[in-house]
Structure 1
């Protein structure tokens, strides 16, 4: 399965780069509108890297606590440190920006970055399993909403999956919102 996923990742990176070059359209506004319907629940976003679609405007508009992921170590679930516009950021693992300090929060809604997604609600990530472990743990404690954020061009016919892969509840793109049953 790892070879299949590696090939899928290479193809997905290329597809996402083309979509990024074309622009993000109204994606952040669509995401902000969708999140507004979540009633101010604790939200986790992410600091966009490379050609990832940018959730920062939607995170800044959120009427509630917002956190960003912090990688604690290999094969460990993510933790989330509180973030707001203007928070001092430092480089964390994999060069991802993280808040230098702040309270730890437990998200009820997660904006999940991805390389590709399919109509079943599965996503292809970077291969570290961080979001899958995190979602599994959070879902064991209660309801959590996982929202993929991507360019529409990142949709594929079928994402290769393992038994540990966690489904998304929805995907938001510049073309709209898809909710998975």
Structure 2
């Protein structure tokens, strides 16, 4: 299966899970509780993505939390400090970003995705933003990449490439996925 067909099938599974209303960030909150104070970046959910905002809001009580800002095609993401009630504006592709504020470098990145496998593989939207970002962060030091998804987004036949960055952990609404 090519990436386009894999994305189409995964989007359909994600949409069905989203419409069923089964997505919560409870297990993500539990995982992040073990990393209190460590700078982390989440994301502002779009369309049918599972929403990490509740876990991110809890984390702001213990340390800096950022959200990604797309700087341009072919560039890694940058992360701006986020607070639950900060003024937000639409960024590239419609993702909400803080209107202003300081930049930060995360040591934990909560990664949205289209599909995942139990080897830490991730199928994204195709722009390579998270792959470039994780590669750069890993060159500078340790970073924990946590994929956050609906359990229905699992797919053991992902068409992955060498440039695809592997996730260190995957959390769903049903728990932490054991990686092989």
Give the TM-score taking structure 2 as reference length. Answer: 0.96
Separation (CA, whole Å) in 2 of partners of 1:85 and 1:78: 20
Where 1:114 maps in the other structure, the secondary structure is coil
Q: 1:42–1:73: structure 2 CA closer, same or farther, 3 Å change rule? A: same
Where 2:19 maps in the other structure, the secondary structure is helix
**Count of residue correspondences:** 178
- Contact 1:168–1:180 (CA under 8 A) maintained in structure 2: no
Task: Report the aligned-residue RMSD.
Answer: 1.2
Q: Which residue of 1 aligns with 2:12?
A: 14
Q: Which runs of 5+ in 2 are unaligned?
A: none
- Contact 2:150–2:172 (CA under 8 A) maintained in structure 1: yes
Separation (CA, whole Å) in 2 of partners of 1:164 and 1:179: 23
- 1:162-177 matched pairs, under 5 angstroms: 162-177=161-176
Moved over 3 A (4+): none
Where 2:25 maps in the other structure, the secondary structure is helix
Where 2:113 maps in the other structure, the secondary structure is coil
- Contact 1:146–1:169 (CA under 8 A) maintained in structure 2: yes
Give the TM-score taking structure 1 as reference length. Answer: 0.95
Name whichever of 52-61 and 153-162 sits farther off.
Answer: 153-162
